[in-house]
Structure 1
Amino acid sequence: MGNLVNAITILVGGTIGVVFKSLLPERMQKTLLSGLGILVALLGVGMFLESDVDFIVLISALVVGIISGEWIDIDRYINKLGDYVEKKMHRRAKGNVAQGFVFASLTYCVGPLAVIGAINEALGFSETLYIKAAIDGVTSVAFASAMGVGVIFSAGLVFIYQGAIFLMATALGDFFNESMQMFINGAGGILIVGIGINILGIKKIKVANMLPVLLFGMIYFYIIGG
């Protein structure tokens, strides 16, 4: 349900941005994003506090995962991929339809919130995707007002991408034992706080470089069997 709501908010927000762009000043969009940034940070804190995660495992996964992510520099590769795809698509297209589609698709799909949200929904927690839906809805207004209808088309790709992660996590239901679910909520909450800080512009945190934290934790709990 959260994935469908996410796609709908992009459609609605993008349409509003195209049709009523002159009625939504930039300062209003910034204030809305700031409010959503606070909500995201609070969501992350809530996820962390509600998770009865093993602190030793969490700290170990954070250290190993962040070192691995920084060594690989996942954030840099994601940005390079985005720049490459956008240049290729923009070069072949007339106007800014492709630019809007590629830019919005990468923004909505690449971040950790899409991955964590889809996995959490498979585990029965849709709150993360609902928050993401609100953020994407507001940002799609700004993107569409600047880049046109291409932003609206990105809703389809977002739905397919997050749906694929959801189906994969659902198919691997037995893989996600109780301890692993607690870890995903705890570690995922930390990552989501980082996303909230980025939205608020307090500090630039390369949250993508922290994604291996989830991988190492899940591997650990799979090996020990919960």
Structure 2
Amino acid sequence: MILLGSFVNGLAIVIGGLLGLIFTFIPEHIKDSILKVQALVIMSLGIQMVAGSTDVLTTLLSLIVGVVIGEVLALENQLNKMGHMIEYKMGNKNSGNISQGLVSGALVFIIGAMGIVGGLDAGLRGSHDVLFTKSIMDFFIALVMTATYGLGVVISGIPTFLYEAGISLGARGFASFIPEAVLNDMTAQVSATGGVILLAIGLNMLNVTKMRVGNMIPAIFVGMIMVWITSFFN
């Protein structure tokens, strides 16, 4: 089953998030401390991912072009509208800020090398080990995040599954004509670009900045396209 790893990851987020909704008795000051610690870990992961980059120029260009696309399309506003629509249709105002949880959760779970590497590994080799490992990590992250952000984190398990499933299916389709070396370069570039975005998420969680991180999402795919184009000149 090519989508097994993606399904398990999405399910882990949903289960972890639902458990987080149960543990709503956690005092606010503890939630705040947990959120800040989580932000620091996310930033540390982002720094580690960026530090491993060997092509800073491509990362910079990817982010600039991606942010421009995101700002023009107003992606963060669209994600917020989606969350508010879900919140309205559910008619539940006590489940937390769904839009904020959906955006934050989706970005935290989607961005990163493990999702890309795991999706590619599942699509190319049929191995789900990476995604299974990521599922364990995301389970605990979802449990903590839901205590702060609410039901939106649970819902973010759906786009996470779709994202990783898309990578797996795409990898199987493209593997026939994209060299393995180029795929490895794409993964490395996504890791570097995603690391910068994770840093932005962490800073927002600490209330240091108010960056529209949702508008940075296109940078991930811009980086992959740039690597693919430059491969023709190497």
The TM-score by the shorter chain falls in which range?
Answer: 0.7 to 0.9
Amino acid of the residue matched to residue 196 of structure 1?
A: G
Counterpart selection for 1:114 from 95, 109, 115: 109
Q: Is the 8 A contact 2:35 2:148 kept in 1?
A: no
Tell me: CA distance 1:199–1:121, structure 2 relative to 1, closer, same or farther (3 Å). Answer: farther
Overall identity of the aligned pairs, in %: 23
Q: Which residue of 2 aligns with 1:147?
A: none
Q: Is the 8 A contact 1:6 1:129 kept in 2?
A: yes
SS at match of 1:177: helix
The separation in 1 between residues aligned to 2:105 and 2:31, in whole angstroms, is 22
Q: Is the 8 A contact 1:40 1:131 kept in 2?
A: no
Give every structure 1 segment of 4 or more consecutive aligned residues whose post-TM-superposition deviation is greater than 6 Å. Answer: none
Q: Is the 8 A contact 2:67 2:216 kept in 1?
A: yes
The separation in 1 between residues aligned to 2:22 and 2:99, in whole angstroms, is 14
The separation in 1 between residues aligned to 2:27 and 2:97, in whole angstroms, is 24
Q: Is the 8 A contact 1:111 1:208 kept in 2?
A: no
Q: Which residue of 2 aligns with 1:100?
A: 95
Aligned length: 206
1:108 is displaced (CA, Å) by: 6.1
Tell me: CA distance 1:100–1:2, structure 2 relative to 1, closer, same or farther (3 Å). Answer: same
Q: Is the 8 A contact 2:101 2:146 kept in 1?
A: no
The separation in 2 between residues aligned to 1:130 and 1:30, in whole angstroms, is 23
Tell me: CA distance 1:109–1:142, structure 2 relative to 1, closer, same or farther (3 Å). Answer: closer
1:87 aligns with 2:82: no
SS at match of 1:202: coil
Of 32-41 and 105-114, deviating more is 105-114
Q: Which residue of 2 aligns with 1:166?
A: 164
Q: Which residue of 2 aligns with 1:29?
A: 31
Amino acid of the residue matched to residue 121 of structure 1?
A: G
The separation in 1 between residues aligned to 2:158 and 2:72, in whole angstroms, is 30
| TM-score normalised over the length of structure 1 | 0.76
Q: 1:36-94, CA deviations, whole angstroms, 9 ceiling, x for partnerless residues? A: 01000001111111233x2222222122111221222211222223223322331xxxx
Q: Is the 8 A contact 2:17 2:142 kept in 1?
A: yes
SS at match of 1:196: helix
Q: Which residue of 2 aligns with 1:50?
A: 52
Tell me: CA distance 1:129–1:222, structure 2 relative to 1, closer, same or farther (3 Å). Answer: farther
Of 34-43 and 159-168, deviating more is 159-168
Tell me: CA distance 1:108–1:27, structure 2 relative to 1, closer, same or farther (3 Å). Answer: same
Q: Which residue of 1 aligns with 2:143?
A: 137
SS at match of 2:210: coil
Tell me: CA distance 1:77–1:4, structure 2 relative to 1, closer, same or farther (3 Å). Answer: closer
Structure 2: stretches of 5+ with no match in the other structure? 1-7, 122-129
Q: Is the 8 A contact 2:186 2:223 kept in 1?
A: yes
Across the aligned residues of Structure 1 and Structure 2, the Cα RMSD in angstroms comes to 3.1
Counterpart selection for 2:223 from 187, 198, 217: 217
Amino acid of the residue matched to residue 110 of structure 2?
A: V
The separation in 2 between residues aligned to 1:85 and 1:9, in whole angstroms, is 20
Q: Which residue of 2 aligns with 1:76?
A: 77
The separation in 2 between residues aligned to 1:128 and 1:45, in whole angstroms, is 18
The separation in 2 between residues aligned to 1:67 and 1:81, in whole angstroms, is 21
Q: Is the 8 A contact 1:180 1:217 kept in 2?
A: yes
